[in-house]
Amino acid sequence: MAQLVAEWSLQAKCAGSKDALFVEGAKQRDARQVCAGCDVRRECLAEALDNRIEWGIWGGMTERERRQLLRSRTDVASWKAMLVGAE
């Protein structure tokens, strides 16, 4: 069974180097730099937030930062709609 890949992910700066974004501790700071200036950063972050992905750097945010954002914004039903806009 083929795995579906989000179209936006093919345009990501990290395409082909995703293992570098799944690090722990101080290495996360360096991994976040990969996201700087990425054209699909908002789509990436929305994917992680909407799907409650708990590992890795997504959209320039660490797991801890995403958890904090989710706790502080329980009113958001769709991060994709909020960050990217309705399609």
- The amino acid occupying position 9 is S
**81 part of a folded domain:** no
Residue 14 annotated in ligand binding: yes
Residue 41 inside a domain? The answer is yes
- Is 69 annotated as belonging to a binding site? no
pLDDT by residue (tens digit) across 5-44? 678 888 888 888 767 778 888 888 888 888 988 999 999 9
- Joined together, the tokens standing for residue 44 give 């990436």
Q: Is 74 annotated as a binding residue?
A: no
Would the pLDDT of 77 be above 60? yes
Question: What pTM, to 2 d.p., does this model score?
Answer: 0.84
Handedness of CA 18, 13, 64, 6 (dihedral sign): negative
Count of domains observed in the chain: 1
In a domain, 1, yes or no: no
22 is in an annotated binding site: no
Using CA atoms, how far apart are residues 15 and 36, in angstroms rounded to an integer? 14
What whole-number percentage of the chain has pLDDT above 90? Answer: 49
Q: Are 63 and 81 in contact (CB under 8 A)?
A: no
Provide the domain limits for residue 45. 19-74
| Angle between helix 41-50 and 63-72 (nearest 10) | 70
Q: Please report which confidence band the pLDDT of residue 62 belongs to, taking 50, 70 and 90 as the band edges.
A: very high
